[in-house]
Amino acid sequence: DAGVTQSPTHLIKTRGQHVTLRCSPISGHKSVSWYQQVLGQGPQFIFQYYEKEERGRGNFPDRFSARQFPNYSSELNVNALLLGDSALYLCASSLRPPHEQYFGPGTRLTVT
């Protein structure tokens, strides 16, 4: 069974641009959560989706948005990129909340 997959692996963007990150959960998992991990810190919760509905939102500006599709995959969108958005973006899936979350390999976003 494949684990959580994310694409792309790495991404370089310029300030002001927007970005879309993608996540495919483990087969059978219906919940997806997004986290931002800055170097040397723990992951910070951004969003959780379950059955295509937003279940939780962290303290991130409205420039961050997400959605979940009928096949339970998910996209994270970030508009008007700032230098401070440079981080590892992690996706985690679980069967349903509240269950154990399993992380994908992450997308390393660099904003220049």
Partner 1 sequence: GENVEQHPSTLSVQEGDSAVIKCTYSDSASNYFPWYKQELGKRPQLIIDIRSNVGEKKDQRIAVTLNKTAKHFSLHITETQPEDSAVYFCAARVNRDDKIIFGKGTRLHILP
Site for partner 1 in 56-95 (CB under 8 A): 56-59, 90
Tell me how many degrees the CA angle 57-90-49 measures, rounded to the nearest 5: 35
| Shortest Å, Cβ 24 to partner 1 | 14
Q: Rule CB under 8 A: say whether 25 interacts with partner 1.
A: no
Amino acid of residue 104: G
Spell out, one character per residue from 29 to 58, where the chain touches partner 1: x when CB under 8 A holds, - when not. Answer: --x-x-x----xxxxxx--x-x----xxxx
Beta bridge partners of 87: 109
- Tell me which residue of 14, 31, 1, 8 sits closest to 81, measured CA to CA: 14
List contacts with partner 1 (CB under 8 A).
31, 33, 35, 40-45, 48, 50, 55-59, 90, 97-98, 100-106
